[in-house]
Amino acid sequence: MTATRRRLATIATAAVATIATGAGLALVPGTADAGVSASAAARAQADAGTWLARQINGRGVVYNAQYQFDDLSTTVDVASYLRTTDRFAGTIARADAALAKGVDAYTTFDGTVYGGATAKLTAYVARSRQDATDFGGVDLKQRLEAAIATEAPLNGRLQDSAGPDYSNTIGQAFAVEALARLRSGRAADAIGYLVRQQCSTGAFRVYFSAKTAEQQRCVTGAEGSEPSIDATAFAVLALKAARTASNADTIDPVLSQARRYLVDHQFSSGAFTDGGGLGVNTNSTGLAGTALAALKACGPAADAARWVLGRQVKRDASGPLGTQVGAIAYDPAAFKAGQADGITTETRGQWRLASAQAASSLDYLLVSACRA
């Protein structure tokens, strides 16, 4: 596998390529069309799961035909969602077996252990209550703990073992979730470093400071500290999973600020964008909606879910998308392209990632589901 494909396979970010304009949308929280019935919500959730399950092949992996590699990162995303459905036990078992077999192929390359991939896989294993000390013959807990810096000012920071460091706040969030679920002694330090990535606005930035920098926290307005909806959502979900009575005083104010930021940056349509020239999209909207539901911001969470629903292929679809019921397009442009050309070899990866990371928000199409 080439280095380029290795980075495609391991990097733990939510960003995908298609750009939409997002023009004409007001940056104020609104109420999207509330006319979604319980049966329509159930269909949307069931169809998303069925389509995603079909993306895992007989070997238990999501295969990227465009670049010709087993996409273990997206396999984790798909399996993570399928585990929330109480369905597809056989498909999940195949995926787990493939991930166990591919631990080193996914988390290492040419002697380097990648922190982001290790954290993402370990979080999945811990979340699904598998043995993180012996997953495919590898002690993932130990491997992840070894990827957490121990000396100031980097203490608690996730890092790659050698070479250019690709670790970022999204990978740090996975590390926090994994270490907390595994009751690791390194969890508190990892939480502390993640908390330092929150900006004064309440948002989290994506990129860490250079390792040589004395300042290892977000500095609002500074280059490299641009706010990210995606990073904020991942951080919220990780900190919710890591919250205990002993660290609530640290985590609760962080979650409160993040909640305010997400609510304030939702478009009136219910959608979100991660900025940086990207338009509104289901990746950011689905992640933010799931985070808002975790924070019990149930109205905004439902608005986000309904915007995602509008980009899902429905059962009455015809033409090139008629066989892709349940798939979720990245944005309106991708949906329109799919209607014309179907899901192609070149676009399938984007549809898979958008669907896997947006599908969870569909659980909150009904406000009552969030409040339960």
Looking at residue 314, its pLDDT comes to: 98
Q: With contact defined as beta carbons under 8 Å apart, do 189 and 148 qualify?
A: yes
Local structure of 228: helix, strand or coil: strand
Tell me the two tokens of residue 45: 């959730």
Local structure of 280: helix, strand or coil: coil
Looking at residue 372, its pLDDT comes to: 86
Query: Per DSSP, which regions of 129-265 are E strands?
Result: 204-205, 227-228
Tell me the two tokens of residue 200: 């004064």
What is the CB neighbour count within 10 angstroms for residue 101?
A: 16
Local structure of 88: helix, strand or coil: coil
DSSP state, residue 325: T
The tens-digit pLDDT sequence of the chain (372 residues) is: 443 333 334 334 333 333 233 333 344 444 444 579 999 999 999 999 999 999 999 999 999 999 999 999 999 999 999 999 999 999 999 999 999 999 999 999 999 999 999 999 999 999 999 999 999 999 999 999 999 999 999 999 999 999 999 999 999 999 999 999 999 999 999 999 999 999 999 999 999 999 999 999 999 999 999 999 999 999 999 999 999 999 999 999 999 999 999 999 999 999 999 987 889 999 999 999 999 999 999 999 999 999 999 999 999 999 999 999 999 999 999 999 999 999 999 999 999 999 999 999 999 999 999 998
DSSP state, residue 247: T
Alpha-carbon span 368 to 119, nearest angstrom = 33
Query: Per DSSP, which regions of the chain are E strands?
Result: 63-64, 69-70, 108-109, 112-113, 204-205, 227-228
Looking at residue 330, its pLDDT comes to: 98
Angle, nearest 10°, between helix axes 229-242 and 282-294?
30
Evaluate whether the domain defined by 114-265 bears CATH number 1.50.10.20.
yes
